[in-house]
Amino acid sequence: MSKEKKGVRLEHISKIYKDPKTGKDFYAVKDANLEIEPGSFVTLLGPSGCGKTTTLRMIAGFESPDEGEIYLGGEPINALTPNKRDTAMVFQSYALLPHYNIFDNVAYGLKLRKMDKAVIKEKVSDILKLVGLEGMENRMTNQLSGGQQQRVALARALVIEPGVLLFDEPLSNLDAKLRVSMRTEIRRIQQEAGITAIYVTHDQSEAMAISDKVIIMNGGLVEQISTPQEAYYYPNNKFVADFIGEANFLDATVKGQDVVEIGGAQVKCATGSMEAGEKCSVVLRPEGAFLGESGEVKGQVKYSCFMGAYQDYHIMVGNTLVKIQEYNPKNKKIFSVGDEVFLNFEENTLYAL
């Protein structure tokens, strides 16, 4: 699909804005260093105002960094205008041309490049097949569903064969069910086309479903760059642990290598380079523990609710409320509010911060 897979590198990139209320400067993005491999799908993930969209817009050329340099395929691009960069953007609003049919919307960028009509027809036909809109060339965009409009926007970006494809929260206008099916489609199309993709979202489940790597941002800073699995099981800090999935934090004391004490009980836990006697927070995912009438850490049931695939519990351990999800509860003992229980931990699930 793309003539050449291109990587993206950000070296010490910062963007400074002035706060309209205080008049003071602040960093929207501060000292970001990113390396995005050619052909990979990378997601910029974080809450509103974390700097992810600003970072994407700097790569696209819609914003200029105040510090640092951006490289595309090894070439510095800070000085290049958006139309001179080997990128294409899929916008949140789709930005389709309402008076054009599907064919003319997709062909628009190729016509600007003054390509031969026969070449345009072939390229548009190939791309519409890839995005599942074959045979719909003459339909007007205002006759399309949200999902179909998104496919047209994607086809229009892909047809110009950019080195890098940029997505600015492209699914936020779709309903929940369509979002799930469209994210699967976007991932399939990206892999089939073999193109480098950088995708912005605040939806962590969306990011985990489609990404080779996630870049988690908070307050303009890059908190972690890793695979979704690494971010989930080995978060760099409490923010990442809390943002990726649901997390419990248990106060603990390191007793030795990979052993901590929680509520008077000594349990296995990945402690990294922490030393004995050091206080720490232990990350426990809701599915990482199961309840029993005996076991490791004592608690009391405060909430018990059947959710079909799992039994949802809130357990008070000391002064900490711990959320536990026990999957496939049909053949397990169901505990009620007020019951004294023990938390037992699955192998390799606890991680100390």
Residues 44-91: pLDDT tens digits? Answer: 999 998 999 999 999 999 999 999 999 999 999 999 999 899 998 888
Domain boundary among 218, 239, 260: 239
Strands 87-90 and 164-168 come out as parallel
Sheet with 310-317, side-by-side order of all strands: 289-292, 340-345, 297-306, 310-317, 320-327
User: How far is residue 248 from each of residues 243, 257, 323, 324, measured CA to CA in Å?
Assistant: 12, 22, 7, 9
Confirm if 28 and 17 have CB atoms less than 8 A apart.
Answer: yes
Residues 80 and 215 reside in one and the same domain: yes
Q: How far is CA 213 from the centre of its chain?
A: 8
Stated pTM of the model: 0.87
pLDDT of residue 43: 97
Asked if 146 and 160 count as a contact pair (C-beta separation under 8 A), the reply is no
Same domain, 92 and 211: yes
Residue 262's CATH number? 2.40.50.140
Query: Bridge partners of 136?
Result: none
Q: What is the DSSP string of 99-112?
A: TSBHHHHHHHHHHH
DSSP for residue 141: G
Which residues of the chain have a pLDDT value below 70?
1-3
- Residue 289 and residue 345: Cα distance in Å, rounded? 4
Which tokens is 231 given?
A: 């971010």
The number of folded domains in the chain is: 2
Q: Which amino acid is at 258?
A: D
Distances (CA, A) of 205 to 180, 194, 211: 10, 23, 10
The answer to whether 183 and 210 have CB atoms below 8 angstroms apart is: yes
Report the pLDDT value the prediction gives residue 186, as an integer from 0 to 100: 87
Structural tokens at position 301 = 């049931």
Length of the chain (residues): 353
Determine the structural domain holding residue 289 and report its residue range: 246-352
Question: Where does a domain end: 239, 270, 305?
Answer: 239
Dihedral, CA of residue 177, residue 178, residue 181 and residue 183, to nearest 10 = -110
pLDDT score recorded for residue 3 = 64
Q: Single out the residue of 205, 241, 208 nearest to residue 223, CA to CA.
A: 241
The pLDDT value given to residue 2: 45
Q: Do residues 91 and 16 both lie within one domain? A: yes
- CB contact at 8 A, 152 and 102: yes
Q: Looking at the structure, tell me whether residues 41 and 181 fall in a common domain.
A: yes
| Angle at alpha carbon of residue 11, lines to 38 and 60, rounded to 5° | 60
Same domain, 111 and 257: no
Q: What is the CATH number of the domain that holds 77?
A: 3.40.50.300
Gap between the Cα atoms of 224 and 222, Å rounded: 6
Same domain, 76 and 165: yes
CB atoms within 10 A of CB 28: 19
Residue 16 buriedness (CB in 10 A; 0-12 / 13-18 / 19+):
middle
